[in-house]
Structure 1
Amino acid sequence: MSAGPALVWTVVLTFVFLECAVILGLFLPGDSMLITAGVVMASHASGEAQVWALSIGTMIAAIAGNQVGYVIGSRTGHRLVARKNGRYINAKNLQRVTELLRRHGFVAVLIARWIPWVRTLCPTVAGAAGMDHRKFTVASTIGAILWAPVLLLIGYYAGGFLDRVPWLMPIVVATLVIGLIVGTVLGIRHYRQEMAKPAEDFELETVPLNIVDAETRTARG
């Protein structure tokens, strides 16, 4: 593996895992990163084999990230920390994710993959609300297959068309990479600003038994 693909692997797997596991992921350009990685892979001779292997890697990273997010949420109990006047980590958004899980359960976890800020908050809220772990795992696994590899392959095959125009490919790749770097820097800055805001507790409301593990709920009283 050359330095280029190795760097792509490192960035992609790290971003996907963080976006699915921890609050920092709210501020990372996950979707655009996957498409950019696919385009970059298209410019390498071993790109096709690399992108298919990376697709499997991103799926595993997304599933693992969601499991970490779920565990973090389950350890908080029904109480999550919001940020007063926060852009994403506020009581309103946490309530919206809770409502989504309450009304749609399994399907909500699938839908969450395609909504950036919901994608990160959903596992934590599901864990805190006591959503049945097996149902969550199945839904998050299906969602992982339908999200990260799909965007990565879209970028790769789009890059294949761009590669037919020699002068255009370097311009597109440079633009996408610069945009990704700028987006990441700004995202980390916004994350620091968000976490510096005053914290406030968010109490999860009771969630119907059709999406909650009854034993977990009974144990919590």
Structure 2
Amino acid sequence: MSTFAGGFEALETAGPLVVWAIVFTFVFLECALIVGLFLPGDSLLITAGIVLSSHAGSEQAWALSAGTMIAAVAGNQVGYVIGHRGGSKLLVRKEGKYLNTHNLHRVNVMLDRHGFWAVLISRWIPWVRTFCPLVAGAAKMDHRKYTIASTLGAIVWAPVLIMVGYYAGTFIERVSWLMPTVLAVMVVVLLAGIGVGVWHYRQEMAKEPESVTVDEVHSAHMR
């Protein structure tokens, strides 16, 4: 039991560079690759803010926010390029629970109807956040418009979640026993989310792949 508690104490006093490395990696993957569809990005940013509040000033949290914006924008650009170079073909899974033509339909039609605003709002919808760059690239959405929208979305998304965690953490620290408890719960939730996500990802990847063009998906949706 003491070892278990010590693990959370070690997390609470983890150096900012460790927190930064974890956050940047997860955010980049979530915005660039299909595996990001199964990662708990929002809860990770809130937890990172709470961790920083225990041993760092607000300038560290704002610096992490700025770095997270860059990681998100870079991930979005990689996702766009992957979709663009895929020749308008995106890999989905037959009878997939997440990687299916229905979800592809929804993102494709959302981009077709709302364009700039769809990219901007997609930042706040976890599974759309991962699909959107790939579909935007495959659909040959105007790259300049896409970049502006995805960047503006990152500028708002990253600091809001991290600073919510940070200021919540400063409040929690006023009660001596509360911070370890909250961190324990948050870390358990994160680890459970990652574990379930990896399990779902392996399940999806084990299913038969299905290659679908964006135009075909859109036409099927409109009929």
Same fold (TM over 0.5): yes
Asked if 1:42 corresponds to 2:53, the answer is yes
1:34-183 residue pairs with structure 2 within 5 A? 34-44=45-55, 46-183=56-193
Runs of 4 or more above 3 Å deviation: none
The answer to whether the Cα contact below 8 Å between 1:16 and 1:58 also exists between their aligned partners in 2 is yes
Aligned-partner SS, 2:215: coil
The worse-fitting range, judged by mean Cα deviation, of 198-207 and 92-101 is 198-207
In the alignment, what sits opposite 2:34?
23
Residue type of the alignment partner of 1:20: C
The worse-fitting range, judged by mean Cα deviation, of 187-196 and 136-145 is 187-196
Name stretches of at least 5 consecutive residues in structure 1 with no aligned partner: 209-221
In the alignment, what sits opposite 1:9?
20
> Please, what TM-score do these two structures have when normalized by structure 1?
0.89
Tell me the percent identity. Answer: 65
Residue type of the alignment partner of 2:187: V
The answer to whether the Cα contact below 8 Å between 1:110 and 1:139 also exists between their aligned partners in 2 is yes
Name stretches of at least 5 consecutive residues in structure 2 with no aligned partner: 1-12, 219-223
Work out the CA distance in 1 between the residues paired with 2:156 and 2:103: 24
Work out the CA distance in 2 between the residues paired with 1:207 and 1:109: 19
Work out the CA distance in 1 between the residues paired with 2:202 and 2:132: 21
The answer to whether the Cα contact below 8 Å between 1:75 and 1:128 also exists between their aligned partners in 2 is yes
Q: Compared with structure 1, are the counterparts of its residues 29 and 72 closer, same or farther at alpha carbon in structure 2 (3 Å cutoff)?
A: same
> Please, what TM-score do these two structures have when normalized by structure 2?
0.89
The answer to whether the Cα contact below 8 Å between 1:70 and 1:123 also exists between their aligned partners in 2 is yes
Of residues 177, 186, 196 in structure 1, which corresponds to 2:206? 196
Work out the CA distance in 2 between the residues paired with 1:145 and 1:54: 12
Displacement of 1:195 = 0.8
- C-alpha deviations, 1:80-134, integer Å up to 9, x for none? 1111111211001001000000000000000100110000000000000000000
Aligned length: 206
Aligned CA-pair RMSD? 1.6
Displacement of 1:207 = 11
